[in-house]
Amino acid sequence: MDIIPAIDIIGGKCVRLTQGDYGTIKIYSGSPVEVAKRYNDSDFKRVHIVDLDGAKSGSPVNLKILEKIASETNLKIQFGGGIKSEESLSDALNAGASKVICGTFALTQPEKFSGWIDKYSQEKIVLGADFREGKIAVNGWQKQTEILLEDIIERFYTYGLRELVATDISRDGMLSGVNADTYYRLKKRFDLLRVVVSGGVSSIEEIEKLDSSLISGVIVGKAIYEGKINLKKLGRCCQKE
């Protein structure tokens, strides 16, 4: 199971939101690149970067930061936020992303997204499914839909989707625990799918209790920034995997 620290970017700064609300922004660092370097030095292999400016505006805004992190660390980068065209997808990959996460685009342009899975490979294209009470939210979590989480996964799974980043928005930034039962249910239904979970991680012990046969990765954000999880200890857990 991959342990993946998160970097969310607004205005070129490393921030966190609570439950996806842009009005709750809290700045933790003026340099996402320096934060990434700390993750690199703590033996993490991957980092989860979300361009929140891009998610809100509809196209990536912070690709220069992505490029700098890719060039100055050894981290494999999964990047999301504003990927709504093939041009923006290519730009993210060319800037150094090893995986690109698509959420809103997958829902609004499902045929094109299915084509990307085939064209760019299952390894590079990841579905980002952000949800509240089992229903998908889009546009940087600003718009709630009536589309069921499992329905959207099933649609793309049949076209070869093999990796999912799922975020329970109601728990994101709350340090209230992971919605493990939902993620276990998804993996049991879609057995070939790599399920990477996000939202609510509060401790190393909680990560260790997750069933690694069902969960492929866990994203950790606020718990690191708030000092709930020691970065070095978490890095050592990552080495054990």
Question: What would the CATH number be for the domain defined by 2-240?
Answer: 3.20.20.70
- For 213-237, what is each residue's pLDDT tens digit? 999 999 998 889 888 888 888 887 7
Q: Are 18 and 174 in contact (CB under 8 A)?
A: yes
Domain ranges of the chain: 2-240
Q: What are phi and psi of 228, to 5 degrees?
A: -75, -30
Sign, CA torsion 228/187/56/124: positive
- For 13-38, what is each residue's pLDDT tens digit? 999 887 667 788 899 999 999 999 99
Q: Are 57 and 82 in contact (CB under 8 A)?
A: yes
Q: Are 102 and 113 in contact (CB under 8 A)?
A: yes
Percent of the chain beyond pLDDT 70?
93
Pairing mode, if any, of strands 143-148 and 163-168?
Answer: unpaired
> What b-and-e string marks burial along 143-159, b requiring 16 or more CB atoms within 10 Å of the CB?
eeeebebbebbebbbee
- Active-site pick, 2, 51, 130, 168: 130
Q: Are 221 and 173 in contact (CB under 8 A)?
A: yes
- For 60-90, what is each residue's pLDDT tens digit? 999 999 999 999 999 999 999 999 999 999 9
Question: Residue 27, Cα to own-chain centre: how many angstroms?
Answer: 19
Q: What's the pTM?
A: 0.91
The rounded distance, in Å, linking the Cα atoms of 147 and 115 is 21
Tell me if residue 91 is catalytic. no
> What is the residue type of 142?
Q
- Active-site pick, 2, 8, 51, 91: 8
> Inter-axis angle of helices 86-95 and 110-120, to 10 degrees?
40
Residues in the chain: 241
> So what's the pLDDT on residue 175?
63
Tell me if residue 53 is catalytic. no
